[in-house]
Structure formats: structure tokens, C-alpha cells
Structure 1
Amino acid sequence: MIVGMLTAMPTADLPPSPSPQATPAAGDRGDACPGALRLHTADDGALARIRLPGGILTIGQAEALGRAALRLGDGDLHLTSRGNVQLRGLAAGCGGELAAALDAVGLLPSREHERVRNIVASPLSGLDGGGAQDVRPWLTALDAALCASEAARGLSGRFLFALDDGRGDVAGLGADVTVRATGDGRAWLGPGSVRVSAVDAPRAALVAAETFLEAARSHGARTWRVSELPLPQGELDHLVRDRLTAEGIAQEVRPEPVGSADGPPPGIVGEALSAHVPLGRLSALQWEALTVAADTELRLTPWRGVVVPTVGATAARRVESLERLRGAGLVTDPVSSWLRVGACIGRPGCAKAHGDVRADAARALESTGRPALPLYWSGCERRCGHPRGDHVDVLATPDGGYRLSAATTAGTTRTVSAAGPFQMGAALAAITS
């Protein structure tokens, strides 16, 4: 169920409404993805999802989100697999107040585009000497172009852009549009499977997204993701190339580079600190510790972690700040078992869930230790937020137990049942042996 909050918002606090001619593309109909202005009703109250392109927050924005979580929600900040933030436990009718608070710190640059600003970017770009180039200019340009595009309003809240600095991290996340630096001042673009100049990369990414919308509309398809588009293999690539040519963007056909989908390891990395957030839930104390450690901003990662830039800090200060993050309960050990465990919200937040998967995941971790494959705990068959790549699928069942299977590139193994979290050890051994 969706709670419409737009009528409660003070119009003076938000950008003007679109003209009557600016209608969203057909693919937007029925898209129930929550946002900052369209709240979703869950069992623990309303839920708001705030899009943060590249996962980047200034310190002022981070402090404003922390205050909103305490004043309007359950007090915690919930990280998503796209580097965004969710506020949960919101009271009905708080939409106007939340929108005003977000707009005051620049988190609502466009009311019409706030749900489609899904952009992940290499979180260590420009901080550790890795990658081929800093993607920050791409991020700024793509977000601005996205918010200025009338057509882009038709994208669904599930559509994803990825800006990879060349190291292959976010290129492995299965985004709908991927731009990856190639090291020679150029960038690979998919769909299209072409290389373009680095200067043209942000515009080319938007062209690819708009081409997807045109293709979906021409085929009468209500599709949210590129993978759902009912076209023969390679046809969208050709459509994108034709559109790039029409836009005057030079291109060269090249195969897709391999991506790894590996996030930053916890610890001190270059001129930054990296911390993992167990199950993606940050308390007010942890959020404050992160903002205190940062110099100017935070970078939330698609792996439910936080990169804290500390450019110019001394080595001693970085060590001290990292210890404070560890003391606040964040993971700073690169071999921690928590890095291999994820879960959906489960009970009591979701009515569809068959169990409190987060509590059970923590209990199981105490008894089983570091798993051979990453574990992802799901409260129901929807498997919200489940990862790409090889992992053990831990699915809650109506009888209070769990069903385990290994989801790998070789296919799914046989299914094993466990009566509860303390029986996970034997079940995991049976699955992974």
C-alpha cells in the first residue's frame, strides 16, 4: 500500500510542478517503489527511501538525515544495496515535514525525478589511487542531466545507473546502464557495448536510458529494467548506437569488461576509512561517529558500508578515528564474518516475512562463524535486496524454520532444511560440502 504525501507538502519548499504536457512514460504506471515523497506503509510504520547518487552525503546532509530519523522515525538509518538510505517507523502524515527537511539541505533537487536518481559509483574513486579516473565529475553531470530530462521521469524507481572508475567494482552490480573508465581517457558504455570519450560519458549514459524508454514504449512493454525488455539479443545495443550517432557522440564498438562486484574492505584505505554496517542498520550513535570522523562527506556503498574520506588527516588520526568506529559497533576488520551475511528487514517490519531473519542471522553467526559462501536471509519468497553472485539463499518458511540452497553460477544445489538459527551449521555443511 502506498501513502500519497504530495498534497501535504508545502509548495514553497519544493521545485514547481511539471507542466501538463510533461507526462511520465508508460513504464511508470504501477511502479510502487517508495521514495522520499511517496512513502510505503510497512508493519513498523511508513517507510521513506532517499536516493543519494553515488551514496554521497555532505556532513550537513548526514546530520539532517540523522535528526529526521530521530524526530520522525525509529531513530535508525537503514542502508540499501544501492547506497541509498531508508527511514523506517515514520508516523502517518509526516510527509510534508520530511520533504521540507530534505529539501532544506539539497536532498530534493527535483521532485519529479527523486525516485529515479539511482546512481551507484565506485566509492573509493579519487581516494586510494585505484581506478583509471575519478568518477565524481561524471556523477555530478549525470545527476544534473537526469533531473533536467523530461523523458527520464518515466524511468522506474528500480532502474539503476553505475559509474565505475575502472576497478570493476560497481560494474559487477548488474546495473541497467553502466559507464566504466577504460584508462585511456575514454569510457565503456552498456547498453551499447561501445567506448565513448570520457567527456561524453554522462550524456551517453542518459541517452542509453532514454533509448530504453523509447524501446519499451514502442513495444508496448511495461518494463522496469533493461533485462526485462522483450527485444532480441543485441537489438538494444544497436538502438543505443544509432541514438548516440544522432546525438553526435562518437563511439567505438567494444566488448564489455569483466566486473567483480567487490566492495571496499574495512579498515584504512588510502585517504579514507571504510566500515561495514552489520545488516545495514545504523544507530544514531553510529551515524554520529561516522559524521565526526569525516572531513566533508560520507560515501555510502552498495555493500551496506560507509567510506569516510579523511583527506589530509595524519596516519595517527585515521587510526584513532577507525578505533572509534569499531567502538561504536561498526565492522573495521577485513576478515569479519559480518561481511558475508545479509538480510532483508524481516519481522516485525514486514508483514509478509515468516520470521525475524535479522535476529536469527545474528544468532546463527555466533554459532557457525565465517561461512564459506555469503549468506543472505530472506523472510519470504520475494527475497528483497538479495545479492548477485554466488551465495547461500536462506529462506524463512511458514513453519518457523528455514530452507537453504546455494545459488551459484553452476546452478542451485539441493535444498536443505534447518529448524532454526542454531541448526545452521549442519545445514551449511550439507550445502557447501
Structure 2
Amino acid sequence: MPPSPAPRPAGPQPPVRDRGDACPGALRLHSAADGGLARVRLPAGDLTSHQATALADAAERFGDGRLSLTSRGNVELRGLADDCGAALGGLLRDAGLLPSVRHERIRNILASPLAGLDPHTPSDVRLWARELDALLCASASATELSGRFLFVLDGGTGDVARLGGDVTLVAERDTDRADRGGALLRVGDDPAAVRITGTEGPRAALAAAEVFLAAARASGSGAWRVRELPAGHALTADAVAKSLEAAGIEVRGVEPYENPAEVSRETGPYVSRETSALVSRETSAPGIVEGPDGRRSLSVLAPLGRLTVAQWRLLTVVAAEDGSGELRLTPWRGVVLPGLPAATAADHLGTLAAAGLITDPGSPWYRTTACTGLPGCAKSRTDVRADAAHAIASGTTPVPASAAALPVHWSGCERRCGHPQGGAWVDVLAGADAQDEYRSSVVRPLTPVPAPVPTTPKAQ
């Protein structure tokens, strides 16, 4: 008799992916209830004012006149006509937003938004982001990655390290070294990390992604993300370290991983527990950010992650005429405008507030997010954005008293698209039919649970 199969471990099992992921891109549009949807990847959320203008033009010419900010620092254009693909692609290509047609959906790179702008985040991991993006676009094997695979580059405070990256690099501050100090590389939720040199960070991140691809092929699971690898094929820091050494990348050791926002060290590469916890908690807070060079950055949030073309153009004008000429999109659906003079920062912030942007951490819109809902998503039971806006205006958001300081996310169905990552949040879920009231509860996703294979792309 053939041997009995090994018993399956208890608990949720990783899905078996028998097809490629259906994530939309800038060229492969998703057909939504409100028209075509394009997702434009922006590594590290970086935009020049010229590129931002091109996105506004695209939303105005081809879409519904709005731009959606995603939880990965990307931009979505909605309401697109079926026949606009070629013209949209040409506009984005001319603006430098499509460096590689084959790689455009895999350029998912998050980086600490305040790197180089805030005294608590001195490591400019945004240089890593540019190097990694160039390496990705030059790699033939990287095209096998799914549109959901995520690289996270943290400046050492833990602000983005907790956002569920498949490959996470955390910078370590070491001003005495000529190689940008060191870095910790972590794959998925492995409890250990590989210590490498800072200059090798981008190359090591790509190499770790290639190790994942090999493991996914060997497992036969078709996994899209590291957490989906089945038992027996899960990646470990030790295995990744061996692969890095085989690729000629110096490995300084393997050690237990701790998010720097939760680490307390009086000396060494991390800031103190008190400072890092504050930075990690308030990175998304709107307002004025004082920089180490005497200049200022403005941090604003988009109500429910959506901006009108007029609001977007106003941000672009401030960046071009009084800032550094760049915009940084954040994973908290916000925009940072660097390089403003101290004398004009407050006036500009007031102008942006008058235009309807969130500029005050005391605003009831702060920490509130929502899925697309009706009419954009046919799977939603209701217009959750309108419901959330009404609840904010009337002060009736169903939040438990014990969770008043937590992020609140409104969802029109159980998929909970676009919910907050990396911590507790209040889940406001539409009832089973239009007559039911919203249900709310505090969700703590401390243990990642593999999601079922979606029938339509999940909004980021």
C-alpha cells in the first residue's frame, strides 16, 4: 500500500495559485463597475512635479477627474474609457512613469516617506529605492514576480517595516562607516534577519526575491507572496544568507529580528524606544515637518484616499514653485511636499486645508479609510464612502470607546479591501443587506492569514 499522506497542519492553509495574479497595472486595466481602473506604480512614492502634472492630465482626459492614493504609495485612475489604453500608456511613458513595460506591475517598493526630511529618519533609503527599481527593471527573472509582491525599505524607525513586506530592508545608522552603515534583510515574517552592508541592500533585496521565486517553483503552489509558501518550502534567514553569499554578497550574520520601533537601545543603529515609538505612530500625522537643514516639509492626507484634479494640481504647484519640485506619496494615503522655506510653510498648509485636504491630526478624517464601495465596486453592499462621510459629519462613527485612538476602516463586503496594515484597527463592515446597520469590531491581524483567491483584483 502506498504510504498515507502526511496530515495537514491545523489552521488556515496557503492557497494554491493556478493562475497569474490579476492585479491591474498602468497598461493592463481592470474593468470595474465605474469603468476602467489603472494602477500606476511609483517606487518609494516619488514623483517630480512634471510627472504629477502628467497624472493630473491623465485623470482629467481619460478618467473621472480624481486620483486615488493606495496603501502602497501608488496612484489609481478610475472611470477610464475602454479605448484609452494606448493614449494613457503614451502619456505615462513620456513622463518617465513607465521605464519598463514588462516590469511595470512589479515595481512595488515602499520606503520611509520622511527619510532625509526628518531628524529621526536620517538614512536616505530612497537611494536604495532608486537602485532597486533599476535592478528590477533590468532583471528578466523579476518579471515572474506577482503584482502583489512587496519590497519595503525602512529608514531605521520602523515606520514602514511593519507594513507586511515580502522582502524588508531596515537601515542601520552608522555614521563612521563609508558604506552607509549596515542593513537588516528580512523575508516575510521570518523571526530572523540577515545582516548585510548598506551598499549591498538593493542587490540583496532582488536576490532574496529570486530565492522566493525558486521556492515557489519548487513548491508547485504558484505562490504570489512569501507568506503563501507551503510548509517545507518556507523561506528562512539562514537559507537566504546562503544564497546571498553564493551571489557574492557579504553576509555579516543572521540574528533575531525586531522591528526598530519596538527596540530600545541606548547606543547603536536604532533610535530610542520613546523616540522610535513616537515616530512610528505619528509618521502619517499631517502638518509641518521640521527638517535638519532648516527647511520644512508639508504632510497632508487625502480624505478617504481620493483627491480631485484641482487638489492634486494645487499640491503640484506648491511643490514646483516653493518646494523642491518633488512629491512623496505615503502608504497612509498622504502626500509629503519637501523643501519649503520655513517662512511660507504655514501659509501653504492653510491653503491646502482650505482646499479640503487633511492638515490637522485632530481632524475626524484623520485615521479614517474606506474601500471603494458603490458605485465603483459591484461587490460592495453600499456606498461606504458616502456613509463614512455622513458618520464623520454627524459624529456617529461606530467606534468602541476603548478603540477611540485606532484607525477606522469602512468596508462594503468581507474582502475589506485597502484595510490598514501592521496593527490594530476598527473594522466597520456593511451588514448582509442594505437594511442592516454597519457592524464594528477591533481587528488585530497579528498572525497573517492566507487570503482566498480573489475573483477580482484587490485594491491596495
Q: Where on the TM-score scale, by shorter chain, does this alignment land: which range?
A: 0.7 to 0.9
The percent identity for this pair of structures is 57
Of 373, 383, 387 in structure 1, the residue corresponding to residue 416 of structure 2 is: 383
Cα contact 1:172–1:259 (8 A) shared by 2? no
Cα contact 2:238–2:254 (8 A) shared by 1? no
1:325 is aligned with what amino acid? L
Structural mapping, 1:168-317, within 5 Å: 168-184=158-174, 185-191=181-187, 193-232=193-232, 235-251=235-251, 252-258=253-259, 262=281, 263-270=283-290, 271-294=296-319, 295=323, 296-309=325-338, 311=339, 313-317=340-344
Cα contact 1:300–1:307 (8 A) shared by 2? yes
Name the structure, 1 or 2, with higher relative contact order (CA <8 Å, separation 6+).
2
Cα contact 1:337–1:369 (8 A) shared by 2? no
Q: Deviations over 1:90-123 (max 9, x none)?
A: 0001000000000001000000000000001000
Q: 1:407 to 1:259 in 2, by over 3 A?
A: farther
- Matched with 2:119 is 129
User: For residues 233 and 339 of structure 1, what CA distance do their matches in structure 2 show?
Assistant: 41
- Matched with 1:407 is 443
User: For residues 186 and 254 of structure 1, what CA distance do their matches in structure 2 show?
Assistant: 13
User: For residues 100 and 249 of structure 2, what CA distance do their matches in structure 1 show?
Assistant: 27
Secondary structure in 1 matching 2:365 = helix
Q: 1:28 to 1:67 in 2, by over 3 A?
A: farther
Q: 1:211 to 1:326 in 2, by over 3 A?
A: same
| Cα offset, 1:138, TM superposition | 0.4
Q: 1:60 to 1:96 in 2, by over 3 A?
A: same
Of 79, 91, 96 in structure 1, the residue corresponding to residue 86 of structure 2 is: 96
Secondary structure in 1 matching 2:29 = strand
User: For residues 322 and 51 of structure 1, what CA distance do their matches in structure 2 show?
Assistant: 27
Cα contact 2:288–2:298 (8 A) shared by 1? yes
Cα contact 2:129–2:153 (8 A) shared by 1? yes
Q: Deviations over 1:56-80 (max 9, x none)?
A: 1100000000011000000000000
User: For residues 409 and 283 of structure 1, what CA distance do their matches in structure 2 show?
Assistant: 32
Unaligned runs of 5+ in 2: 1-15, 175-180, 262-279, 291-295, 448-460
| Cα offset, 1:379, TM superposition | 1.0
1:268 is aligned with what amino acid? I
- Matched with 1:20 is none
User: For residues 64 and 123 of structure 2, what CA distance do their matches in structure 1 show?
Assistant: 39
| Cα offset, 1:330, TM superposition | 0.4
| Cα offset, 1:236, TM superposition | 3.1
**TM-score normalised per structure 1:** 0.85
Q: 1:69 to 1:235 in 2, by over 3 A?
A: closer
Cα contact 1:27–1:155 (8 A) shared by 2? no
Is 1:330 matched with 2:357?
yes
Q: Deviations over 1:120-142 (max 9, x none)?
A: 10001111222241112101100
Is 1:357 matched with 2:347?
no
Cα contact 2:237–2:254 (8 A) shared by 1? no
1:112 is aligned with what amino acid? R
| Cα offset, 1:403, TM superposition | 2.1
Of 362, 365, 369 in structure 2, the residue corresponding to residue 342 of structure 1 is: 369
- Matched with 1:418 is none
**TM-score normalised per structure 2:** 0.80
Unaligned runs of 5+ in 1: 1-25, 412-433
- Matched with 2:7 is none
Cα contact 1:176–1:226 (8 A) shared by 2? yes
2:375 is aligned with what amino acid? P
User: For residues 40 and 87 of structure 2, what CA distance do their matches in structure 1 show?
Assistant: 14
2:412 is aligned with what amino acid? G
Of 17, 32, 35 in structure 1, the residue corresponding to residue 22 of structure 2 is: 32
2:300 is aligned with what amino acid? A
Cα contact 1:27–1:156 (8 A) shared by 2? no
Range with bigger deviation, 139-148 or 126-135: 126-135
Number of residue pairs the alignment of both structures matches:
384
Cα contact 1:28–1:154 (8 A) shared by 2? no
Q: 1:300 to 1:314 in 2, by over 3 A?
A: same
| Cα offset, 1:247, TM superposition | 1.0
| Cα offset, 1:367, TM superposition | 2.6
User: For residues 234 and 182 of structure 1, what CA distance do their matches in structure 2 show?
Assistant: 26
Q: Deviations over 1:370-408 (max 9, x none)?
A: 851321111111111111211111111232232222112
